[in-house]
Structure 1
């Protein structure tokens, strides 16, 4: 299966379709030219690159099997083109990112080679012609533009080989159970925290698919139950953007802003099973206190296990991974913990993914405004023609005068 995919990729580079610079409409990205100079931004970690990527920039990444989250983050940044040093679709499993990028009208140029990171320079002005990245008239690298037909064909081939990946997923899940059975069954290794979660609702926010819409749809629930909010890495920024404050931040701290880390939330640092914590230096540099949670699980899983161990009454997850394709899309071995974690918490875990699409009011804000305006006009018209209109206006004038007198009394 992989050999056939590689064979199809060995075709000559497809000329790059034009791309725009920051157009609001995704379709417009394919209607302008890339022959003009564009700023190159590059990083081997896609989520780091998207933090500084600006509309119209050329994005250079090294991301084999671009997943959904990475694809959506790149589209949101609106680059003029995405150059990938690796294979965007290796054929290992049907990853969702390339389709998202290509569907948005952003040229995705595949397998330009990792050596480009040594040749090119961050911030320099380059141009693309015919799948070739040029510095002036000097070619730096060449790749193959993935058209939508290419993506669809590659995804279909990947689905044919999905059974092998399912077997690997099951093996990884069993391996995780052997390593972390004490954590899953008895809560061994869960750190002590100051935040009280006992008998409370807990809302865990992950920056996954449709997290903004689902978080907005949960406003009535948040208003009524006031759940303790836990941000998983960048999910803490999502909570702040929605107008709330996280009570806890859980993760390895590689995709959360300093603003979120210093907002007053308690920090639980996700560490490897051997105790190594990639985000430890950053937390110490900021002078923040923290608890360490060593586990082979994902950060969103340890956030759920933490809430459960501390006695949460209900756990609501926003943006978390809920289906098998998403488990595979996030990382085949890394998501082995997710299935078992969800089985452990099945009685109190509620997935809010898609709640924004479950029900949408048919009455728009504009319609409500017109209805209120019509009611006011009707009331005013009725008072105007009523024989008692003068008496009504005198009563209203009296109330108004009393209100003005009361306000003046406060400041006098």
Structure 2
């Protein structure tokens, strides 16, 4: 990265942005309890759309990224989403993160920034829409090779894990029964909050078992639902969700190590270990499958190359195998949501028809009453 000369600092132009700082080397952990109006300091290579939307929802003031905001490896709309919301992005050198993470306030100028404690100026530069477009075009030009490498990686890992996926996983002693029930698994994928809000009719009618995968549990709570189970590494879920009363299952590596268990212990809550290969999303789907869930419905599921590259994964071997194992029992909420939208439309049309029929019946009754009254009046006059 090419930085401007520090000789410009002597002129010290007017600041572009100033505010309180919140810093985090792991972005999803920073987002757990991020107050609104902060300047966030990240070390997040290739800012993805899910993180961008979270930053927008938390009304951040600006973003200082100490990693390439967009490398051009794959196309992503994340940086553009922020810029369209007038949330500026500045890039600083990777060495700047440690200095900035200790600051409580920062002032950003055009080509440098200064911490609130009067530290030495650090060079920075704005990430613009023009740069996003350049990187986006670069990524699209390289997409064929990226897809080829992704497929090779996926098939290689699938071959290594195919025996593992066929073995039954350990059954946990769960309070939540899933046999013969529909199960809704909510993960933090693209558009997951909107998809969950659109699933309201399905949830109301079916009353599925609700499983939140890490931060997916917070989305359930935000929509007014009580998660039955929370499963994951416990790195993006909030304390509020972990204390909501749901059964907690820590996704462990196949060798049994589970970093997420330390967080539960620190909160004073208990959870069960679930050793499983693949991602926490894979583990949630297999948990529902092994416990004989009838339909396993996904919200925010990761299903294609861009989804996985945004998660920092260069293949999806385990996810491919899990979906092959679950077969027709696995469906996405978008498919069910389409049916429910059509059903709602039919109900609306039926209600309009009934309303119009009632209106005309009432009108006919009123007319009949008026005619009857006129006839009675005429007969009375004639008889008189």
Q: Report TM bin, short chain.
A: 0.7 to 0.9
Counterpart CA distance in 1 for 2:161 and 2:208 is: 28
1:282 shift after superposition: 1.7
Q: Which residue of 2 aligns with 1:406?
A: none
Counterpart CA distance in 2 for 1:324 and 1:36 is: 36
Alignment of 1:70-81 (within 5 A): 70-81=51-62
Task: Indicate the larger mover: 115-124 or 251-260.
Answer: 115-124
Q: Which residue of 2 aligns with 1:238?
A: 219
Q: Which residue of 1 aligns with 2:254?
A: 273
Contact in 2 for aligned 1:297/1:334 (Cα 8 Å): no
1:36 shift after superposition: 5.6
Q: Which residue of 2 aligns with 1:255?
A: 236
Residues 232/127 of structure 1: CA separation in 2 closer, same or farther (3 Å cut): same
Counterpart CA distance in 2 for 1:140 and 1:11 is: 13
Of 330, 333, 346, the residue aligned with 1:352 is 333
Cα deviations across residues 248-295 of structure 1 (Å, max 9, x unaligned)? 111011122233223222222101222211111122233433221223
Q: TM-score, normalised by structure 2?
A: 0.80
Q: Does 1:132 align with 2:102?
A: no
Counterpart CA distance in 2 for 1:190 and 1:110 is: 47
Cα deviations across residues 159-211 of structure 1 (Å, max 9, x unaligned)? 22233433432343234334433442232456453422111100011132222
Cα deviations across residues 191-247 of structure 1 (Å, max 9, x unaligned)? 453422111100011132222222222222212211111110111121122222111
Residues 75/235 of structure 1: CA separation in 2 closer, same or farther (3 Å cut): same
Greater Rg by CA? 2
1:68 shift after superposition: 1.7
Contact in 2 for aligned 1:270/1:295 (Cα 8 Å): yes
1:11 shift after superposition: 7.2
Q: Does 1:169 align with 2:161?
A: no
Q: TM-score, normalised by structure 1?
A: 0.75
- Count of aligned pairs between the two proteins: 357
Task: Indicate the larger mover: 224-233 or 48-57.
Answer: 48-57
Q: Please list every run of 5 or more consecutive structure 1 residues that lacks an aligned counterpart in the other structure.
A: 1-8, 14-32, 388-412
Q: Which residue of 2 aligns with 1:324?
A: 305
Q: Which residue of 2 aligns with 1:308?
A: 289
